[in-house]
Chain A
């Protein structure tokens, strides 16, 4: 499959170390994620998932190596239009309504006024937010805020979507709705790069995963292949086998 598909994200010989503190570091790290994939990044706390996400979205700059998104350097002008980002924290203005948030972020994502207006209606409808479109987000439940957070990330129909634990702290119904929507986006051609601690969710959503720890890639393949190779019956057992059972801070 990899041979016929175009890389959506190409990480080559990446080296990165935080200046301020002794956080996770990457040394000669390589990873390729292909167009149309639903790719999951998994690992315990301190594995480097969020740091890798920051590097792939251009929030951090690597000391060495390159990251390319659809053959464009991550820091090149125009690359930011290619991807969307749904951070774990609610990255929105809680004083504003979903409509007002989407209007602002749509403009910042490079959409015209007409495009933004049309996308706002579409997204509010899909994510079940039409009834509360004019209410301040601060009055919403955690699940509703997650849906607004997701809507903002996809308003400009990016080719690649980075999701950092998009379903943390939500009820079953909201999680189901979010996962189903993400599958729809993927069916439409969007590449998904996803991190989570929910392994069951990963089995449902991802078609390929990477297990990592301390800034290193421990395993990377389709889920069935990984289970077969490591002779495990589920992802949790595989996770514990590769990352150990000791507590992480």
Chain B
């Protein structure tokens, strides 16, 4: 036992005195978590909380276009600035840059007339079908008059973001079209304009959308950028330990001290066991530090706070499994690498690739179908799925067992490969 304790002490001292290694293990992931969460949170707020600056160039002089702009305002997604109707598309482009607007729309001069024409035609058709009127002029005509609202956007705007703006514009158009149709039907039947209060009642929205995350504990806490990013980048940080640990194994193999270790009556497996224990402590410390930042520091800088899962024991077990997977991988790299450069280079690149295919860099649901099998080859995928099961789905250890068990398999496989490598290299 003294051998193991002395070896753990030696490894811990070497670790503490390796300032660059510590920086890589703690400062880098903290910066990564802060930056990525901030960016994603800003995007989230832009879509959900902040209003999108929208320039409106209204070339239509009729009242329906004013109602359309009012409907856009009512949606609540846009901060609308009306610009001169004389602007061309090119000068509107310049105006967008001046107003920091990401999007602009041009309402054509025929906007109101097209909508009114359509509502007249549709109402006549409908009334004719009901046998209420005998007007055959409008009811017989095909409804094919159309016009377009020009939607100008900054090229930096992502497709998904563009689509949600497009959806909001379509929704506003439908509101106006519906309103005009109801008004037209009313005035035809009653031969007087529709009263405002009735108009309000008819157009009033009675069905709302209630968002409920499918949490296993039934909680209604809506996941945010922190809840997504903190666990994901903690896993990345744990696996990035390959730089320090893989390098440490190679350094020890190449150093003179290893020659002496081989002549002493202690198996090198003791050294590897010590490294696993020491670095498992480091990964748990990483988890503690990064999660603590998420819980207590993030709210101070305007980010949502991290909500820990209810099953803290489950969180500890999953963190241990993630850390142990990372350590097993790092030791395997260190065992097979011939130089520190090899261990660092291959280790870092492989972790970035494994992170990319696991859903840490790009959400797994956004990946092509062909990646469905490939992503399951990455241990980071199983770590992420297990953490998301606890953090986002609010499940317990029992709920994430199916995603945690592959990690146990990965650890056994990688440790086995390492042992074979050590045996082949005559190191044990």
Contacts and interface: CB of A to CB of B under 8 A. Distances in A.
Contacts of B10: 93, 96, 100, 103-104
A91 B266 contact: no
Contacts of A85: 259-260, 263
Given A103-B6, A107-B7, A113-B2, A80 B265 contact: yes
A90 B256 CA distance: 6
A112 interface: yes
Contact of B262 (A59, A89, A93): A59
Given A103-B6, A107-B3, A96 B256 contact: no
Nearest to B266: A108
Given A92-B257, A152-B260, A104 B266 contact: no
Contacts of B14: 93, 95-96
B260 A100 contact: no
Given A59-B262, A59-B263, A80-B264, A107 B2 contact: yes
Most buried by A among B9, B10, B17: B10
Contacts of B264: 80, 105, 108-110
Interface in A186-207: none
A92 B13 contact: no
20 contacts: A85-B260, A87-B259, A91-B255, A91-B256, A91-B257, A92-B257, A93-B14, A100-B9, A100-B13, A104-B6, A105-B264, A107-B2, A107-B5, A108-B6, A108-B265, A109-B265, A110-B264, A110-B266, A116-B6, A152-B260
Interface of B: 2-3, 5-7, 9-10, 13-14, 17-18, 255-266, 270
B260 A91 contact: yes
B260 A105 contact: yes
B83 to A, nearest CB: 66
A8 B290 CA distance: 58
A109 B10 CA distance: 15
Interface in A59-98: 59, 78, 80-81, 83, 85, 87, 89-93, 95-96
Given A85-B263, A107-B5, A108-B261, 15 more contacts: A58-B262, A59-B259, A59-B263, A85-B259, A89-B256, A91-B259, A92-B256, A93-B14, A105-B264, A108-B3, A108-B264, A108-B270, A109-B266, A116-B6, A153-B260
A107 B266 CA distance: 9
A70 to B, nearest CB: 14
A58 B14 CA distance: 28
A57 interface: yes
B256 A83 contact: no
A193 to B, nearest CB: 13
A81 B257 CA distance: 17
A241 B14 CA distance: 49
Given A107-B3, A109-B265, A87 B260 contact: yes
Most buried by B among A85, A93, A108, A113: A108
Contacts of B262: 58-59
Contacts of B263: 57-59, 80, 83, 85
Contacts of B3: 107-108, 110
A93 B13 CA distance: 10
A152 B17 CA distance: 21
Closest 7 CB pairs of A and B: A107-B6, A89-B256, A91-B260, A80-B265, A91-B256, A104-B10, A108-B266
Nearest to A152: B260
A85 B265 CA distance: 12
A152 B256 CA distance: 13
A136 B5 CA distance: 20
Nearest to A164: B259
A98 to B, nearest CB: 13
A100 B6 CA distance: 9
A78 B265 CA distance: 7
Interface in A105-145: 105-110, 112-113, 116, 136
B17 A95 contact: yes
Nearest to B271: A108
Contacts of A80: 263-265
A214 B7 CA distance: 40
A144 to B, nearest CB: 16
B252 to A, nearest CB: 9
Nearest to A103: B6
A81 B265 contact: yes
Contacts of A83: 263
Contacts of B259: 59, 85, 87, 89, 91
A183 B112 CA distance: 110
Contacts of B255: 91
B242 to A, nearest CB: 20
A71 B265 CA distance: 17
A116 B2 CA distance: 10
